[in-house]
Every structure is written in structure tokens, then in C-alpha cells.
Chain A
Amino acid sequence: MKPAPFEYAAPKTIAEALDILGQNDLDEVKLMAGGQSLMPLLNMRLARPSLVLDLNHVEGLDGIREESSGLRVGAMTTKRVLEDSDLVRSQYPLLWESTVAIGHAPIRNRGTVGGSMVQADPASEYPAAALAFDMEFVVMSSAGERVIQAEDFFVTYLTTSIEPGEILTEIRIPRLPPGTGWGFQELARRHGDFAIVGALATVRVESGLCCDPRIVLFGAADRAIRVPAGEACLEGAPPSEASLTVMGDAVFDAVEDPLSDVHASAEYRRDLARVLSKRAMSEAMSRAS
């Protein structure tokens, strides 16, 4: 279980990194961020790049900064940094919950925010958080910079809309509107495992009625998904058990073709989507003010 041979480059600037990308066959290059998903694939020889381009030495790709609209998180910022950030914990609690649910401490120490986003594992927490927050992804290429909205970013299993030759540099995370309640639920075989299914929910309650409800699922499809049909059931409805039941049924109907594997059948995942979205939304309702 040793990696196949490859060349290695560790550029110091984004320009240098883009330059190296420009000089190589893009199908043969793997960008390495924290490596917590890529290294197992290399060790198992399931990934066989001829060049590993290590982003760990590129300047300016890590750190958190808050602006009026929200957070700007460098793509190479480790999860540990978010976990340890009082700002994230107090002002972006849903992001913090999503962070600490990822794997275990050693994985979060090295794994990066950008790495998880680009890996786009359908059962991982961060892509779901991206949809919950309407995050924006800043990518650079030799042609310049472009911004991709979260809803356009995750394409399918392990695939994003980042083009070969582009590098994710920053994730912009808007603040949730004041009064937004949030909930986070996931079910894994063991604590820290990839989720079988997980759900994030946000909602505001205005004049006793639900407003802008949002439901995001992970582990329920080929990518993290929002469930508009479920959200529609709640818009303008009272935050009640009855509303949650209606919403849960709509989520169940909307999750059409979940994955089936050794840990969970498709029917089980579908039902978990119902159960966990209700639990997450129930938490969100109780937190909404």
C-alpha cells in the first residue's frame, strides 16, 4: 500500500502554482491540500498522478478574516483553525458544528476547508454547509479569477465545477440573517465516521410563522442537496410538530435515488433523510428568535 511514483512540486505563490499547472498535462496533476482524502487514494494507488502539486507552501491561502458581509476563509485554512476560532464558534455556530463533526482531531488538524469542498464527497459536512450558507467559491486560473456560487459548485459524486487549471483560493461565507435558527444532525455508524445521512436546517420565525426555511442533506444523493419541496412546506407555516411531519414527508418524497451500500440501503437513507431533517429543523425552530 505505497503510492505509485510521481514528481512533486511545492510552489510558493499562486502564480507559480498556476504556471506549473500550465506546463503540465492537467489530467496528470493532483493538487494536494491537507491530503486527508488524497493520501489514502495515493497509498492505495487509486489516484496515480504524475505530479503532485502541493499547495501547503503557497502564501496567502490560509486564514480567516471577517468583513461586513461575512467570513473570508482561505482555501488552505485547516479545520482546526475554524474549530479553535471564537469568532466562528460564536457568530457562525452552524459552521462550527459542521466543522467539529468532521472526522477526528488529527484529521481536522491537517484537513483544509478548501480541500473538503473540492473533494465534494456526497457524505461530507462542508459541501452541505456551503449550501446552507450560500457560500461563494473564488477560483483562480491563468485567465484570472472567477466566483462560483455554492449551488453551482457541487456537480456530482467527487466532482465540482472547478475546471482543470483552476485553483480554489477562498471561500466566502455570508452571515446568516439575524434571528436565524439552525440545526445540525448526522447519523454515522460510529462517532466521526462519514455520515450515512446528515441534515442542516435554518429558519427564521416571524410573527409566529416560519420564514426562509432551508434544508440541506448530505449522504442522501450524489452530492449535498437542498430540498426545496420540503422548504416550501414550511414557508409561512407555524413551527409545529405537524408542520415538521408534513415537511419530513416532502423530504422523503424528494430524496429519490439515494446511495445504497453496505452500511445503509437506499430505503433506509431515504427514511433517515426524513428523520434527520425533522430533527435538524426542530432544533432550528427552537433556536430561531
Chain B
Amino acid sequence: MAVRIPNTLNELPASQPRFVGRGIRRVEDASLLTGRTPFIDDVVLPQMLHCAILKSPFAHARISSIDTKEAEALPGVVAVLTGEDVLRWSYPAQSAPEGWGSHCMATDVTRFVGEPVAAVAATSRYVAEDAIELIFVDYEPLEAVADPFEAMNSDSPLVMEDQGSNVMMDRVFNWGEVDQVFSDAEHVVREKFRWHRMGANPTETFGCIAEWSPLDLSITLRGSIQSPSMFALGRASTFGLPPNKVNVISHPHGGSFGGKGGSRGSDITCMLSRKADGRPVKWIEDRIEYLTSGGSQAWDRHYEAAIAVDADGIVQGLDVQLVDDIGATGDMYGAICAAKPLAAFTGPYTIQAARYDLKLVATNKLPSGPYRGMGPPPHFFVLEQLMDRAARLRGEDPSEFRRKNFIRSDQFPYTIPSGNEYDSGNYGEVLDRVLELSDYTEMRANQVKAREEGRLVGVGVASAIEPGVFDWNAYAIVGMQGTGVPEGATVGIDVMGGVTVRVGFALEGQGQYTLVSQLVSDFFGVVPEAVQVVQLDTQSAPPSFGPGGSRLGVSITGAVLGACEKIKEKMIRVVASLMQCEPEQVRLLDGKFGVEGVPGAEMTVPEVAGTMLARSDLLPPDVDPAPVATHVWTAAGRTEPDEEGRAKSYLTAAHAVHVVQVEVDRATGMVEIQRYCLADDCGTRLNPATVEGQTDGSVAQGIGAALLEEYAYDEDAQPLTTSFMDYLLPTVFEVPEIEKVAVVTPSPFTPLGAKGCGEGAIHTTPAAIMCAINDALLPLGVQTTEVPASPRRLWKLIQEAQS
């Protein structure tokens, strides 16, 4: 049955939506605030064992022998797993690019520090950790490579010997007349940039409980899993099982941001359970494991980039060369972060031609993975630095230089050179609003005064696009297949009129269960508290991807409203039969079905549901008596990528402009954020409070990226930031008050006009802060090109300027 999903709030069957569009309290909070929400480490199963994993201390070494006898003899130890078992029972992981996956545990050679080498299942985590100390491994250290440029040399050690090279991918994409616009340019601004490795670090690490069923060869895997259906496919592939033999039960988790990881640990616990005759095995990754070998390291990038600007100051071309250090394997999917910039390559600007020279390189570092934003944040950092330089070259204010390069509101839908289509926007309005909010003119005047006093005060203005509602086709260039990412929901109304919505994803923090409750409340005229949202496992759920790629808010809205529409259609037929009228005369409004032209002929939604379920004698013979429907939503109009990777991929394009004021201490290199203002437009805000929450949190992560967070390695690929003493997350002292203003340009293409907004501000924040720092440094005649702008780096730059 084709359904039409409302594209605006007015199309909801409510005279005035009471919940959608309002910042209502979250239905998930009472349980979280009282400590009753079951996170994975809170779960205890009968006979459960605990896993500890022995990790490689070498970035590159051959394993000559492993002796597990003493560990096996330790009281409390039930199973010990080594590479030998792993070779017997599992396949190497799928990867992007294809062929760069490894087993979950080193089988002959270790390729990064922290790679699993052996694992134990024991009666407690304490005993399991005792046992791994009794496993004796002889390593033959091999030369490691930590630098991607060295790794590309022909004499470099090979990370994966079978590949014959460390270059995972080397391709140049040309979109439009790039050479022409660069040769015609009035100015070409070119610079090298470095974005150091950083990543997600949710407050809860990964955890799982695996049960191997020896009789029917199936797996039950509970865990803090962001994308349950993908995770089930991954495990099925590892073990050569049909996907329906892997049941993934995701638990509410303490954030993810793309960086939950966990595939290696899950495969290891599955095999430990198999060795332990099917007893459940729990593994809770500890923080040091997470930092050294978890899912958290992303975006280790070396850029050289240029823009071509014509005589009118219009940017005509963008040329980006990226060497992306993916780490030891491709099975954590860091490569898709290098592909995603295609969805918004030229940002909010009318740049007509672009080139992407992309090299993905393997080194002996932890395989890189996804992180909030999935790759564009460093790309926009680069683009925005170039925009600032061009503006300066022309003596134009950075905000006005951006404005004249913006895509105009009458140009939407707008196709960018790299193929994606932006749905809608009003970029000039967003800029106006943030300039007003920040009192930009006054900010600049204060900056002049501060400079006169010798203070390094800077203002940054940066603008970026957040591609929303991700699609696999955006990652085709690194080998991901498919178009469309379906998300389903089942809505059911019980005999008393209670509404239950069944979904395929776990709570993660974005408030999606609240959103689901808001939607069905306004659709059927109930209150959110009366709505129950139930999470299904992968064997029970409709097709679902879950949160990720700024997608779920839009997708689940489509799925829920689609299911509601289907129920409404069924109910209309029931009502029409009972009221002896035509279905076309029946309307749902504010929870009641009425008959056009017959005042007082009304039935409430619970009455209709009750009739359907408990009065079959009253129903017409052809009606389906279930006030239940499932709808699976996927974005319409997505296209297959062409040979240059161009496709309509991400459905929506949210937009933001941030204005930041910083002061750099010229003696110490410390940066203080003095003001943080932003305006953004993510279409209809289904719950403004949760949207703002996403924005705030994403600004904080952007501040971490710009100033604090970095996974450092030495030249032997030994990690140097292995605890929270060294990997620095922003605290309340580093995150200022975030002043915000919203512009709403609904999407013409989505349910209720909402756009993806979950990844949000991190697309813009690092760029804005770096622009502000460089603005502050201007009087010294130096510019920083390295993220994070840690005090030691800025101090060095200032020293060089002053000497």
C-alpha cells in the first residue's frame, strides 16, 4: 500500500500539533535518571563468564609461539582462545576498501599495538585478567611504519604482506573543468594542512555478551551496538553463517558517535562461548583498551589543497589532495570517512569544479574508524582556511566573502560538482542571524582595541554543510555497495487504545524514543506518556539501520508516520462501514474519526481499535482486523553512482554559520574561547530541545577536536595517548556558553520537512575555531595549519614569528 507521508506539520491529523515541534521532556529520562536503564555491563546471565583479551605490545611482530598452559590451569578459567582457533572457526572481516580485512585476532603477525593475540573466559573479570598474564607469547619484532608517506615508499615494510603495497587506494576524481578554472583564476590559494587522529570516546566503552548455540549453530549477541543489523551481518560474514542465525540484541548505550567499534571483541567472545560449550561470555572493553585498540581513532589526514578565485572574488575551483592514514586494516571502515566529503565537497558555495586526489594508506597504527561527521569536518577545516586566506588576499571581510560565494536560496535544489543534490537552504539568512546574534561589528571593533593593547584576539567566521540522511551510495568510491538505507517501525494500537511502537534500535542519547512518542501522540491524539516504544532484536525487527549519518530522526519519522497512515486507512474503512458512509467522507483529526457533513458522527481512535480487536461481529468482511502496521521508509530519488562517484546520496543539507572569538596567550600558546555564537538551519525542528542538545554536544566535540584531542604515536607506531590523562576530552571549563539562533527552511523532500541534524556542529566548529586562532595570529604574520592547535604547537609558531 502506497502511503503519503506528511511533508509539513500542517499535514498531521491534528488541528495544532501539541508535541511535534516542541521541546518536550524526554520519555527516556526517568529510567536513566534513576539508574534503571540496563546498559550492557548491568546485565547478568546464568552461567556467564568474563573475557579478558591479551593485546600485542608491538606494532609489527611475528608471533613465533604462544604458551597458554598456565592460563588454562588457573582455577576459574574455562576457555582460552588463540589465533589457531580463530583460523579454524572464522574468516577475515569485510573491509573498505575490499580485501583489507583481518581476522579478529592476530594469527601469525601482529599489525598494530593492541591487536588481540589471545583471550580468556573465566568466572570473573579479575580472574580473566590474572589468566592473560599467564599466557606467554614469543614475538619476533618486525620493522613498523607509522608515517603514511614512508609507507608509500617502495622500501617500506608492508603492513599486509599479501597486498604487495601499503597503498589501499589511489584515485583522482575530476568534477568539472578543474584545470581550466585554475588557469583562469585571478588568485590561487594553496596550502598544506594536517589533521591529527582523534575520535569518539563515548563515556561508555564497547561491551557485549555472546552466546554460541552449539546445536543449531547460531549466535545471540547482546551489546552496546549502534547498528544492530549491520553488526549481525558482520558476525554472519565472520562465521560463515546466514544472517538470520545471528540475533543481535542492542542495549541502551552510553553514546556512540560512530566510535563504538567492538567487532573484534564480539567475534572473540563468540568463539570463547563456543569453546566454553555455549556459556555466555561477557567482554567489557576497559578505557585503556578503548583508547589503544577500540573504535575511536579517526581522520589521520595530510592535506594539500587549493582554491581558484576569479576576478570578482568568486571561488570557481577546489583542488584537494588527501593522504589518509587508515592504519593497519580496512575493517573498521575508516575509508568511508574519506568518501563522505563527496556528499558536500564544495560546502555551501557555488564552486563549479573540483578535484579530489585521494590516497588511502596503511600503516601499523590502529585501524581507523568512523566518528561523528564521518570525514567532512577536516575537509571543511581545510576549505574554510582557504576561504579566509582568499578573503584576506582580496581585503574582504570573511563573512562577506562567504556570503557572495553562497548558493542562493533560489538555486535549490542544487547539484554540487561531486554529484549530490542539496535540498533547500537560506544561507544568507543564516549568516545574517549569526552576525546579529554575535554583534559582529562590535566584536571586530573590540578586536581592534585588543590588538592595540598587544593582545592576540581573533574572530572566526565559518560556514559548513551537514549532509543528512546518509546513503550507502555516498561511499561507493571505497567499495561500499547499495543505494538506500531502509528504516522500519511497527505501530500497534491495543484494545484499550494504548499505542506501542516497535523499532529496531536501542537508546543512544539523541532522544528518538521521545520523537517517536511525539509523532504518534499528535497523529492519534494521545499523550507521549501513553505511548510505549519497544526495541526489537535483529531477528524480530523490521529492516532497520539505527542511528548514524544524521539519518535516524528523519527516517524514523518517515517509518512511524507511514505506519500511522496505514493504520488510519484501515480504521477509515472500519469507520465508514460502521457509519454507513463512504471512506472518502471519513477524516481523522485530533484523535477522532468524523464523517464529513454529519456532525456528531464520531469515533475515537481507541473506540475504533477496540472494535477492530474485540467486535469482529461489527466489522465488514474484507477488513484486516489488526490496528497494526509496519512501514519501512527509505529516501526517494537516490541514484546509482557514476564512474566518478557522483550520485544523489545524502537527502538533506543542513547549514550553519559559526562566529567565534578567541584569545591566544602569546607567552604560553593557550587558547581561550571568549564567545561562541552560531546560527543553523536543519529544517523543521521536531523537538527543538533535543536538536539544541545535539548542537551543544557537537560544538563541545568540535572544541575538543580543535584544541585538545589527539591520538599521538611515536615513530615506531607505539601509541602515546593511552589514558584519559593524555587523551583530553573537553570539560565544563573548556566549553563556553553556546549562543544559538535557529533558521528554519523545511526540506521539500522529507517527512515533516526535517533535515538530518545529529552530527551537527562538529562540521563547523573546528573550522571556526581555527579561523579565529589564525585571525588572532595575523599581527604576528604566522598561521597555523595543524589540528589540534595545542598550546605547544601555537607556542612554537609564535616563537618562530618573534625570533
| CB of A218 to closest CB in B, whole Å | 16
**B799, A263: Cβ atoms closer than 8 Å:** no
- Contact across chains for A191 and B733 when beta carbons are under 8 A apart: yes
Q: A190-B728, A262-B712 are contacts. A268–B129 as well, Cβ < 8 Å?
A: no
Of B130, B668, B726, B731, the residue contacting A192 (CB under 8 A) is B731
Interface string of B655-675 (1 = CB under 8 A from A): 000000000000111100000
Q: How far is the CA of A275 from the CA of B667 in the complex (A)?
A: 7
- The secondary structure that dominates the B interface is loop
Confirm or deny: A271 has a beta carbon within 8 angstroms of a beta carbon on chain B: yes
Contact mask for chain A residues 184-223; partner B; CB cutoff 8 A; 1 contact, 0 none: 0001011111101000000000000000000000000000
Q: A60 interface residue, CB < 8 Å from B?
A: no
One of B286, B288, B667, B708 near A190 (C-beta < 8 A): B708
**Contact: A262 with B726, CB < 8 Å?**
yes
User: For B288, what are the chain A residues with a Cβ–Cβ distance below 8 Å?
Assistant: 1, 44
A residues 126-149 in Cβ contact with B at 8 Å:
none
Tell whether A190 pairs with B734 under 8 Å between CB atoms, given A5-B130, A268-B792, A275-B667: yes
What is the chain A residue whose CB lies nearest that of B50? A2
Do A193 and B728 have beta carbons less than 8 Å apart? yes
Q: Is B22 an interface residue (CB 8 A)?
A: no
Q: How far is the CB of B802 from chain A (nearest CB, A)?
A: 11
**Chain B residues numbered 713-761 whose CB sits less than 8 Å from any CB in chain A:** 720-721, 725-726, 728, 730-731, 733-734
Query: In the assembled complex, which residues on chain A have CB atoms less than 8 Å from the CB atom of B790?
Result: 189, 263
Q: Say which residue of A1, A187, A271 sits within 8 Å of B286 (CB atoms).
A: A1
Residue of B nearest to A4 (CB): B130
Evaluate contact between B726 and A263: CB separation under 8 angstroms. yes
The answer for the CA separation of A194 and B726 in the assembled complex, in Å, is: 10
B18 in the interface (beta carbon within 8 A): no
CA distance A56 to B667 in the complex (A): 43
Bitwise, B775-802 to A at CB < 8 A (1) or not (0) is 0000000000000001110011001000
* CA distance in complex: A276, B681 (Å): 44
Q: Which residues, 579 to 638 on B, are CB-close (under 8 Å) to A? A: none
The reply on A107 being an interface residue by CB < 8 A is no
B128 to chain A: closest CB distance in Å? 9
Q: Which residues of B are found within 8 Å of A268, using beta-carbon distances?
A: 669, 791-792, 795-796
CB B287 to nearest CB in A, in angstroms, measures 7
Whether A12 is near chain B, meaning CB under 8 Å from some CB there, is: no
How far, in angstroms, from A4 to B126 measured CA to CA in the complex?
8
Q: Is A272 an interface residue (CB 8 A)?
A: yes
CB of A38 closer than 8 Å to a CB of B: no
Partner of A275, one of B125, B668, B734: B668
B159 to chain A, nearest CB (A): 24
Partner of A191, one of B129, B286, B721, B731: B731
Which residue of A2, A262, A264 contacts B129 across the interface (Cβ within 8 Å)?
Answer: A2
| Pick from B287, B708, B731, B792: contact of A265, CB under 8 Å | B792
CB pair A190–B731 under 8 Å, yes or no, is yes
Quick check: is A45 within 8 A (CB to CB) of the other chain? yes
B708 contact set on A, CB distance < 8 A: 189-190
B795 touches A271 (CB 8 A): yes
Task: Say which residue of B129, B287, B799 sits within 8 Å of A271 (CB atoms).
Answer: B799
Residues of chain A within 8 A (CB-CB) of B720 are: 261-262
Q: Quick one: CB contact mask for B120-150 with A, threshold 8 Å, 1 for yes?
A: 0000011001100100000000000000000
How close is B265's CB to chain A, nearest CB, in angstroms?
Answer: 14
A244 CB → nearest B CB, Å: 13
Contact A263 B795 (CB under 8 A): no
Interface size on B, residues (CB 8 A): 31
Q: How far apart are the CA atoms of A261 and B795 in the complex, in Å?
A: 15
**Smallest Cβ-Cβ distance to A275: which chain B residue:** B667
B734 proximity list for chain A (CB < 8 A): 190-191
Shortest CB distance B704–A (Å): 10
Interface range, A side: 20 to 34
User: Which partner residue on chain B sits nearest A43 by CB separation?
Assistant: B286
B668 touches A1 (CB 8 A): no
Q: Are B725 and A194 in touch, CB under 8 angstroms?
A: yes
**Who on chain B is nearest to A187 by CB?**
B668
Report how far A156 CA is from B721 CA in the complex, Å. 24
In whole Å, how far is A152's beta carbon from the nearest beta carbon of chain B?
29
| Complex interface: chain A residues within 8 A of B668 (CB) | 187, 272, 275
What's the nearest-Cβ distance from chain A to residue B341, in Å?
29
The docked-state distance in angstroms from the alpha carbon of A191 to that of B733 is 7
The answer, among A5, A189, A275, for a CB contact under 8 Å with B728, is A189
Is A264 in contact with B731, judged by CB distance below 8 angstroms? no
Give the Cβ gap from B120 to chain A, nearest Cβ, in Å.
13
Q: Smallest Cβ distance from B76 to chain A, in angstroms?
A: 12
CB-nearest residue of chain B to A1 = B286
| Contact of A262 with B721 in the complex, beta carbons under 8 Å | yes
Q: How far in angstroms is the closest Cβ of chain A from B400?
A: 36
Q: In the complex, what's the smallest C-beta–C-beta distance from A113 to chain B, in angstroms?
A: 22
Known: A190-B728, A190-B731, A262-B712. A2 touches B796 (CB 8 A): no
Is the pair B712, A187 in contact by a Cβ cutoff of 8 Å?
no
Task: Give A48's nearest chain B residue, CB to CB.
Answer: B133
The residue in chain B whose Cβ has the minimal distance to the Cβ of A44 is: B288
Q: What CA separation (Å) do A3 and B129 show in the bound complex?
A: 9
A275 to B799 Cα, complex, angstroms: 13
Interface 1/0 per residue, A233-273 and B, CB below 8 Å: 00000000000000000000000000001111100100110
In whole angstroms, what is the CA distance A44 to B799 when docked?
39
Report how far A236 CA is from B3 CA in the complex, Å.
89
- Interface of chain A residues 56 through 98 with chain B (CB within 8 A): none
Min CB distance A276 to B, Å, is 8
With CB as the reference atom, state the residue of chain B lying closest to A272: B668
Q: Which residues of B contact A5 (CB under 8 A)?
A: 126, 130
CB distance from A1 to the nearest CB of B (A): 4
Task: Looking at the assembled complex, report how far the CB atom of B650 sits from the nearest CB atom of chain A, in whole angstroms.
Answer: 35
A283 shortest CB reach to chain B, Å: 15
Considering the chains assembled together, what is the distance between the CA atoms of A5 and B126 in angstroms?
A: 9
**Known contacts A191-B733, A192-B731; is A2 also within 8 Å of B670 by CB?**
no
CB < 8 Å: which of B126, B287, B792 contacts A264?
A: B792
CB of A289, distance to nearest CB on chain B (Å): 27
Q: In chain B, residues 402-418, which have Cβ atoms closer than 8 Å to a Cβ of chain A?
A: none
Residue in B closest to A269 when the chains form the complex, CB atoms: B792
A265 cross-chain contacts in B, Cβ below 8 A: 792, 796
Q: Which residues of A contact B670 (CB under 8 A)?
A: 187
By a CB distance below 8 angstroms, the chain B residues around A189 are: 708, 728, 790-791
* Closest Cβ–Cβ distance, residue A194 to chain B (whole Å): 7
Evaluate contact between A187 and B791: CB separation under 8 angstroms: yes
Contacts of B791 in A (CB 8 A): 187, 189, 196, 264, 268
Chain B residues, CB < 8 A from A192: 731, 733
Q: Which residues of chain A come closer than 8 Å to B669, judged between CB atoms?
A: 268
Task: Report B-chain residues with C-beta under 8 Å of the C-beta of A190.
Answer: 708, 728, 730-731, 733-734
With both chains docked as a complex, state the minimum distance between the C-beta of A273 and any C-beta of chain B, in angstroms.
11
CB-based contact A1/B731 at 8 Å? no
Task: For B125, list chain A residues within 8 Å (CB).
Answer: 2
> Which chain B residues border A1 with CB–CB below 8 Å?
129, 286-289
**Cα distance A187–B795 in the bound complex, in angstroms:** 13
Chain B residues with CB below 8 A from A275, complex form: 667-668
* CB nearest to A196 among chain B residues: B791
Chain A residues with Cβ below 8 Å from B130 are 4-5
Cβ of A3: which chain B residues have Cβ within 8 Å of it?
126
Contact A2 B126 (CB under 8 A): yes
In the complex, A4→B792 CA distance in Å?
37
> How far is B462's CA from A235's CA once the two chains are assembled, in angstroms?
52
List the 6 shortest-distance A-B pairs measured between CB atoms, nearest first.
Answer: A1-B286, A191-B733, A275-B667, A2-B126, A268-B792, A262-B720
- Could you show 10 A-B contacts with beta carbons less than 8 Å apart? A3-B126, A5-B126, A5-B130, A45-B133, A191-B734, A192-B731, A193-B725, A264-B791, A268-B791, A275-B668
Question: In the complex, given contacts A4-B130, A192-B733, A262-B726, what are 5 additional A-B residue pairs having Cβ atoms less than 8 angstroms apart?
Answer: A2-B126, A187-B791, A189-B791, A190-B730, A268-B792
Residues on B facing A (Cβ under 8 Å): 125-126, 129-130, 133, 286-289, 667-670, 708, 710, 712, 720-721, 725-726, 728, 730-731, 733-734, 790-792, 795-796, 799
